[in-house]
Amino acid sequence: MAPNKLNSSGKTSMSCSQAENGFVNSFSLFPEKAVEEILQSPIQGSDDHLIEFSEALRTVAKALRQVAEGKASAQAEAAEWKRKFELERDRNLKFEHTEKSCFEHQVDLDDMRTNSPAKQPTSCNVANGQSGKCCSRNGICSHEVLKDGTPTSDSKIVKKASFKLSWFCKDDQSDQYKHDIVSFERGNITTAQRSSKQISLKWQSCPQTVLILTKPNSVSVQILCSEMVRWLRQQKNLHIYVEPRVRVELLAESSYFNFVETWNDDEEVLRLHTKVDLVVTLGGDGTVLWAASMFKGPVPPIVPFSLGSLGFMTPFYSEHYKECLESILKGPISITLRHRLQCHVIREAAKNEYETEEPMLVLNEVTIDRGISSFLTNLECYCDDSFVTCVQGDGLILSTTSGSTAYSLAAGGSMVHPQVPGILFTPICPHSLSFRPMIFPEHVTLRVQVPFNSRSPAWASFDGKDRKQLAPGDALVCSMAPWPVPTACLDDSTNDFLRSIHEGLHWNLRKTQSFDGPRET
Ligand SMILES: NC(=O)c1ccc[n+]([C@@H]2O[C@H](COP(=O)([O-])OP(=O)(O)OC[C@H]3O[C@@H](n4cnc5c(N)ncnc54)[C@H](O)[C@@H]3O)[C@@H](O)[C@H]2O)c1
Ligand SMILES: Nc1ncnc2c1ncn2[C@@H]1O[C@H](COP(=O)(O)OP(=O)(O)OP(=O)(O)O)[C@@H](O)[C@H]1O
């Protein structure tokens, strides 16, 4: 239930208006009216006893008020926990149901593979009939994330390459998984070893299918795309998927490209992750955002080639595409797991929290702004039901760390290494001198609510696209999505990130001060 809905049910002190950036007026409860009435009447006499008595009464009234406030807030909290528990239980029941049907589906697929051994990848345990045992504790196996072996429209089984993700550190060549170690020995808490090192992807069977996504209306991209398709087919014998628009372009060039596959409807796009081993993007950052937006669930590894003006997420040079793809197809690949945010728009008219529109997944950010309205936006923000602040200004950006170099940066937010899991909370032109940007940890749920008394609606946009109006009473709820976007690194996450801000932004570029001058003696 929305915090303001809790308020509107109006049973507790938490329903007080949050005037002035949410400072709660907690003096709305007067549990002992009788005592108050006595106190309201001015003390006429100057008798010491009378004064003492009235002070004692004041103390009693204060204590009673505190007790009543405490009780009301405990009741509200209990109601909130009960509500959360019920929602969670419903969700789990739904989830269990979905899991069960997925499992049954997977069992069917395993059966199909067992019955047609020629179609099984050789090096994968799952395909060898040990489903569920292939993923050791030392990494993440693709079969846990990407369900493979979905039959295509012509009933062929598409083999999906199996891979393993593991932590990798430069000075340790062993494939061992590193844990975050918290030691409680002798009461000392230490983090002895950090796990967040470079992530490495190792193919366990060869990639078979590549999806190529291209920036539209670019001749250089079109030329590179047809060259790359030929090379991948002739030299690597891969299955190639492209967008319907691109297939038309390729066929206009030559009927040779008849082997290139595409899709007919959105349903097929939703199943793409079950067929595609690798996604190649030819364009700028916008094309990477486009690629990510096509996958509403798990995302196959993306290899982003730079054909835009700036490229914060596109480290690969298109001139060297053959060498790059050779080494990517062979593996291992350094990977940046880019976190995404999952956004739900909750309409005031909805009957409950989960009656929402389709969730939107963003790789950069969700922006809530004033749109074409000239009024100040007024947005109430909550973090896990705790009131954060009320944004009064042009709007608010909730950004991933990958998006930290995009709009959030322009609005004054900090640049954050993309491997850091967090949600940036960056105001756009706040009309308050003290509103500094913030970063929340990954586990929180943020809620941005357009107050009922707002002068105008607000507008939400997702990675700069798909604008949605938020009327007074509507809210946007945002949390970390369970499906990150794995992008291949040219070098590693840190070097790629630093190179992008040096080359893309000329970050902290200044002529070095000369040695030739005054010196401290
Ligand atoms: N004032 C601003 O800086 C501003 C305003 C609106 C949108 N944007 C950004 O544009 C993004 C949409 O990109 P698009 O290419 O579809 O639109 P676009 O074609 O308008 O390009 C926007 C610019 O943002 C850059 N960009 C995108 N993602 C980036 C990232 N993660 N790090 C650094 N730069 C990045 C692109 O390279 C491009 O130069 C939005 O997600 C938003 O972050 C920025
Ligand atoms: N396959 C695609 N289909 C439709 N639109 C796309 C596709 N790929 C990219 N776009 C859109 O095209 C626009 C430009 O793409 P992109 O940012 O990759 O190129 P760019 O503008 O040349 O790069 P840069 O912003 O670095 O100069 C973006 O808004 C993006 O969403």
pLDDT for 337 equals 96
Q: Which residues are CB-neighbours of 301 under 8 A, at least 6 positions away?
A: 163, 201, 277, 278, 279, 333, 335, 486, 487, 488
What's at 232, amino acid-wise?
Answer: L
pLDDT for 100 equals 54
Identify the helix (H) or strand (E) that includes residue 344: strand 341-346
Cβ–ligand 2 contact at 379 (below 6 Å)? no
Secondary structure of residue 214 in the 3-state scheme: strand
Q: Whose CA is nearest to atom 10 of ligand 1?
A: 464
In the chain, pLDDT over 70 holds for what percent of residues?
70
Cα distances from 266 to residues 262, 272, 296, 302, in angstroms, run: 12, 10, 11, 20
pLDDT for 63 equals 82
Per residue in 221-260, pLDDT (tens digit) is 999 999 999 999 999 999 999 999 999 999 999 999 999 9
pLDDT for 51 equals 83
- Please tell me the distance between residue 284's alpha carbon and the centre of ligand 2 in angstroms: 6
Nearest to 36 by CA among 61, 67, 69: 61
Nearest to 425 by CA among 442, 206, 433: 442
Contact 459, 371 (CB under 8 A): yes
Exposed/middle/buried for residue 514 (C-beta within 10 Å: 0-12, 13-18, 19+): exposed
Per residue in 321-376, pLDDT (tens digit) is 999 999 999 999 999 999 999 999 999 887 676 666 789 999 999 999 999 999 99
Average pLDDT over residues 407-424: 97
Per residue in 474-519, pLDDT (tens digit) is 999 999 999 999 999 999 999 999 999 999 999 999 999 888 888 8
Q: How many other CB atoms are found less than 10 A from the CB of residue 291?
A: 24
Q: Which residues are CB-neighbours of 392 under 8 A, at least 6 positions away?
A: 376, 377, 378, 430, 431, 432
Q: At what angle do helices 48-115 and 33-40 cross, to 10 degrees?
A: 140
pTM over 0.90: no
Identify whether 285 is a catalytic site residue.
yes
235: Cα separation from own chain's centroid: 37
- Check pLDDT > 60 for residue 6: no
Q: Whose CA is nearest to atom 22 of ligand 1?
A: 286
Q: Which residues are CB-neighbours of 71 under 8 A, at least 6 positions away?
A: none
Q: Is the ipTM of this complex over 0.85?
A: yes
pLDDT for 171 equals 57
Tokens 């059966």 found at: 111
Cβ–ligand 2 contact at 241 (below 6 Å)? no
| 289 Cα nearest atom in ligand 2 | 31
- Check pLDDT > 60 for residue 129: no
Average pLDDT over residues 282-308: 97
| 311 Cα nearest atom in ligand 2 | 26
pLDDT-derived band at 40, boundaries 50, 70, 90: low
Average pLDDT over residues 63-71: 78
Tokens of 263: 């899709």
Exposed/middle/buried for residue 144 (C-beta within 10 Å: 0-12, 13-18, 19+): middle
pLDDT for 196 equals 57
Minimum mean pLDDT among 49-63, 323-337, 379-393: which range?
A: 49-63
Exposed/middle/buried for residue 264 (C-beta within 10 Å: 0-12, 13-18, 19+): exposed
Q: Whose CA is nearest to atom 5 of ligand 1?
A: 407
Distinct helix (H) and strand (E) counts, the chain: 12, 23
Question: Mean pLDDT across the chain, nearest whole number?
Answer: 80
pLDDT for 184 equals 58
Say which ligand is closest to the CA of 400.
1
Cβ–ligand 2 contact at 148 (below 6 Å)? no
| 411 Cα nearest atom in ligand 1 | 1
Beta-strand pair 278-283/302-306: parallel
- Check pLDDT > 70 for residue 180: no
pLDDT for 342 equals 97
Distance CA 390, CA 483 (A): 30
Average pLDDT over residues 464-468: 96
pLDDT for 435 equals 97
* Bridge partners of residue 474, in order along the sequence: none
Say which ligand is closest to the CA of 407.
1
Say which ligand is closest to the CA of 398.
1
Say which ligand is closest to the CA of 418.
1
Q: Whose CA is nearest to atom 30 of ligand 1?
A: 406
Distance CA 171, CA 193 (A): 14
Polymer length in residues for the chain: 521
Contact 203, 331 (CB under 8 A): yes
Tokens 């997702």 found at: 462
Cβ–ligand 1 contact at 369 (below 6 Å)? no
Tokens of 375: 């009024």
- Check pLDDT > 90 for residue 36: no
Contact 334, 199 (CB under 8 A): yes
Distance CA 82, CA 374 (A): 41
- Please tell me the distance between residue 218's alpha carbon and the centre of ligand 2 in angstroms: 10
Catalytic residue among 148, 277, 285, 496: 285
Cβ–ligand 2 contact at 213 (below 6 Å)? yes
Contact 249, 219 (CB under 8 A): no
- Please tell me the distance between residue 323's alpha carbon and the centre of ligand 1 in angstroms: 29
When comparing pLDDT for 294 and 8, which is higher? 294
| 402 Cα nearest atom in ligand 1 | 31
